[in-house]
Structure 1
Amino acid sequence: MESFLVSTSVVGLAEIGDKTQLLSLVLAARYRKPIPIVLGVLVATLVNHAASGALGAWLASVIHPNVMNWAVVASFALMAVWILIPDKLDEEEALATKSHFGVFGTTVVAFFLAEMGDKTQIVTIALAARFHEFYGVVAGTTLGMMLANVPAIYLGHKFADRLPTKVVHALAAVIFVVLGGFALRTALYPDAHPMF
């Protein structure tokens, strides 16, 4: 349950102002059909985060625990800095919303591609490696993505303009620092019972 709750909150906060949330706004403005867009985001997220969670769980099983602990510390520290850098949707990603696949298919393809190498994908890998758990992490990161993107899809630009994204990003950075601190404690004292 802990991995699910941490994954949901971290990804939900990290997604605010992220390029995939911007893509959700573009898709909502272009097509004005929220249900196929929401379903497309869900499918793309599940596929992407399942692959990321599997990679994280696999890495945790093949890399020595001490090395993995330090890698997780580094990944959380990097995410704390990266989250403070605002995302922008580039032209190629915006053009990916023009497709012959219909609203659902276009959303799946565009969202999946935009999520490749994105913050939330990296976080999913790190969380799965940290918690040594696939299902709780993937369910949590997927729920976090949906909690951030569904309102953006339904409420469009009105919603996005009212979010204090700098404050949300700062809060997410603090959470990554805290997670990094717990991971650092585990790396320094591997025999101690992990708090997190």
Structure 2
Amino acid sequence: MDIAVIALAFAAIFVVELPDKTFLATLVLSTKYRGLYVWLGVGAAFAIQTGLAVAIGGVATLLPQTLIQVIAGILFLGGAVLLLREARAHASAGETEEAVQNEYGAGKTKEVHGLRQVAASFMVLFAAEWGDLSQLLTMSLVARYHEPYAVFAGALGALLVVSGLAVLLGRTLLRFVKLEVLHYIGAAVCLVLGILTFVEVFA
């Protein structure tokens, strides 16, 4: 596996997911269940979703190389636009823990114990995160670099770290780091990847 691709995938997914509702939803779940069980549950959901994104990205590599790069570039630039919109939305309104709790249904979850907490956390994130920006970026990275195992390792590592931070330090991080700033950083990363991709296509 290419270490550089692992690092790139980790960095790209990390800055996209840290300000995402994934982080906030994991934080909410950790207020109801044991942190370790929440982390195991959401980690399993991320592993399956990342694996599917990598598989789809791998299938895309069968298309003509130029077409793949153009699609990847469009996805990167689209991700930048989406993150900029999210940043403005956070700056104007902010994201409350109660809103995320209502959206993900965490507040309605019945009292459960033991491994059922793992299953409950898995189901909440697995159902809510389909079509997430991190999945689109994962597919784009696989299509661009043709390193499915490296992208999988980097992307899943980033998701596990983000969810771990949410469980351990979620509220502390939100006191010191504004979500819109993280969105702007993620948008910048996507913009750079998109520009680099198109430069390779038309160079």
Question: TM-score normalised to the size of structure 1?
Answer: 0.87
Contact map agreement 1:28 1:156 (CA 8 A) in 2: no
Question: Residue in 2 aligned with 1:25?
Answer: 27
Contact map agreement 2:30 2:38 (CA 8 A) in 1: yes
How far has the Cα of 1:96 moved from its partner? 8.2
How far has the Cα of 1:118 moved from its partner? 0.8
Cα deviation code 1:51-76 (max 9, x no counterpart): 00110011112x11111111011000
Cα deviation code 1:15-41 (max 9, x no counterpart): 12211111101101122x111111112
Contact map agreement 2:29 2:106 (CA 8 A) in 1: no
Instruction: Give, in whole Å, the separation in 1 of the partners of 2:32 and 2:85.
Output: 26
Aligned positions of 1:85-96 closer than 5 A:
85-86=85-86, 89=100, 91-95=102-106
Question: Residue in 2 aligned with 1:148?
Answer: 162
How far has the Cα of 1:168 moved from its partner? 1.7
Aligned positions of 1:149-188 closer than 5 A:
149-188=163-202
% same residue:
24
> What one-letter code is carried by the residue in structure 1 that aligns with 2:132?
D
Question: Residue in 1 aligned with 2:148?
Answer: 134
Cα deviation code 1:67-121 (max 9, x no counterpart): 1111011000000111223386373522487156721001111111222011111
Contact map agreement 2:28 2:106 (CA 8 A) in 1: no
SS at match of 2:19: coil
SS at match of 1:167: helix
Aligned residues: 187
> What one-letter code is carried by the residue in structure 2 that aligns with 1:98?
T
SS at match of 2:136: helix
Question: Residue in 2 aligned with 1:65?
Answer: 65
Instruction: Give, in whole Å, the separation in 2 of the partners of 1:95 and 1:85.
Output: 26
Q: Indicate the structure with greater helix content.
A: 2
Q: Is 1:116 the equivalent of 2:130?
A: yes
Question: Residue in 2 aligned with 1:103?
Answer: 117
> What one-letter code is carried by the residue in structure 2 that aligns with 1:36?
Y
Q: Which runs of 5+ in 2 are unaligned?
A: none
Question: Residue in 1 aligned with 2:18?
Answer: 16
Instruction: Give, in whole Å, the separation in 1 of the partners of 2:5 and 2:121.
Output: 28
SS at match of 1:75: helix
